[in-house]
Amino acid sequence: MKWLTHIPSWLKNKYLLTAVGFTVWILFFDNRDFITSHFRERGELQRLEKSKKYYEQQIAATKQELDQLKTDPAVLEKYAREKYLMKRDNEDLFVIRDENAPAKH
């Protein structure tokens, strides 16, 4: 017990020791610690930015397709025939489905 007399009194303070222990636990050992959450959030940000880029490309392609549908009647007719299986009055329509192809909804 002689070595306890050489420890400064501020290191014996139970509130200070508790606060330091709590801070160390929160920074390094908790499920939401500083280091792990930083890398997890950085990965999430990169995934979201990649997703944002994909959707911006899809929006641009859809706007271009919409512009073509508004201005070119031939494109509008082709779109109606392919997407909605529309036909002219004097035509017969045959739909051939590939059994190996994934179903479109």
Model confidence pLDDT, tens digit, residues 5-25: 777 777 778 898 899 998 888
pLDDT the model gives residue 42: 92
Other C-beta atoms lying within 10 Å of the C-beta of residue 68:
14
Global pTM reads: 0.54
pLDDT the model gives residue 61: 96
Query: What is the maximal distance between C-alpha atoms in the chain?
Result: 108
- Between CA 26 and CA 89 the distance in angstroms is 73
The string of pLDDT tens digits covering residues 67-92 is: 999 999 999 988 888 888 888 888 88
The string of pLDDT tens digits covering residues 25-61 is: 887 777 777 777 888 889 999 999 999 999 999 999 9
Residues 6+ apart with CB under 8 A from 26: 33, 34
Higher pLDDT, 72 or 3: 72
